[in-house]
Amino acid sequence: MPYTNPLIHPNLLDVIRTNILKKDNKDSDLCNFSYWNKTMPWYCLKPVNRTLSCNDLTKYERNWIGYLEGLNDCELHLVKRGQYRVGDVINITIETSKRNHSLQENEMQQCRAYNRSKLWFLKQSTGYFYQGRWIMTHCKGRNIFIGECLRNTIIYLWGDSTSLQWLAHLKSSNLSLGCTLKRISGERWHTRYEAYCLKYNLWIIYIPHNIPAVAGGVSNMSSYFSKPLSEQVKDFKNTSKRVVILHIYSHLQIERINFFIANVIAMRYYLEKLERMSQTQILIKLPHMHRDEGIDGWVIRQPDYIGLLYESVIRKVFTGMHHSVIALHNKDITIATKSMKLHPEHFVVSAMVEQFLHYLC
């Protein structure tokens, strides 16, 4: 279905020109660096110095460190005041028997058969932890060994370092898939990883999103960006099923919200093409909650509302595709465990991956 959402401007180029760049700029004032990015149009202002041209730009650099530019007095106050508790934290213990818990699970529909469009509109928590397991409240998973479920499958994880955590878990010995890392091209999170599980003919491929992304003090050079998503997702002759999981989040947070909107629209354009490919399952990992993350002497601090705002944008942009794209609710898992880290703990990642596998298997 072509993109027709009236809530978001359908012309991606216009979104970037009118909202992200200053409105008084003309085309002649912009440098077109779309050939760098490939995934979507990318424009920057031309250098003020007349001796410099667009071709002289070699890198794009911004970071979180001490970034307070453009904040008003109220926003500065909120940034500097630290964390405050609103109200009291109440711990509730729910006692239940194993028999009642089993009956509740047995009465629910299997997640694979659940109406996927409903996932975009769930208002209550999607689950809870019970004896260390994440139990979903709207559907139940099948008791099937995931190796057989994922046989002859290629899984694409397109996103950032939190998506890379999923690859690490899928190839870990905990799942007994017998995966080995076959290829690494690059370094850190902006690296393509390929893992292969010979016994089940399963490929797991992590692809860093190639939209300009802030990464601490790391510059966004053109060498970081990979090929377009549509070129990355290809047919493997010896596989029959394809799974694509997308996630963009923390690396875009320093940019204006309109920049995030433009990127989500670009994601939709590519997914509309993938949607028509046979044996392709598409999933979007919705933002998880995090508060503080200290890396190499600097700290990311994010209020919860940013994740909620991003989730709202994704829901609106993907109106019309809710039937074919599965929304993965990761926020509830991190809230249930009071997870504060940008990169969640191993057991939290395990719960996220298990939830995804319930929908798939």
The per-residue pLDDT for 108 is 78
Q: Cα 148–150–156 angle (5° rounding)?
A: 170
CA-closest candidate to residue 39, choices 325, 277, 264, 331:
264
Q: What are phi and psi of 195, to 5 degrees?
A: -120, 145
pLDDT tens digit string along 165-191? Answer: 999 999 988 888 989 987 776 566 677
Q: What string of pLDDT tens digits covers the 361 residues of the chain?
A: 333 443 344 454 455 444 555 555 555 677 877 766 665 666 777 888 889 988 887 766 655 555 556 667 876 776 666 555 555 556 666 665 554 555 455 567 888 888 989 999 988 888 888 888 888 888 988 766 788 899 999 999 998 889 999 999 999 888 889 899 877 765 666 778 899 999 999 999 998 876 556 555 555 555 555 566 767 777 667 778 899 999 988 877 767 777 788 788 878 888 887 777 778 899 999 999 887 666 655 566 666 778 888 999 999 999 999 988 999 999 999 988 888 888 899 999 999 999 999 998 8
For 294, the token pair is 């200290």
CA-closest candidate to residue 170, choices 187, 193, 195, 144:
195
DSSP 54-101: GGG---B---STT--TT--HHHHHHHHS-----S----------HHHH
Q: Which domains does the chain have, with CATH numbers?
A: 99-360 (3.40.50.1110)
pLDDT tens digit string along 25-34? Answer: 555 677 877 7
CA-closest candidate to residue 188, choices 154, 212, 224:
224
320 Cβ neighbours under 8 A, 6+ residues apart = 1, 3, 4, 5
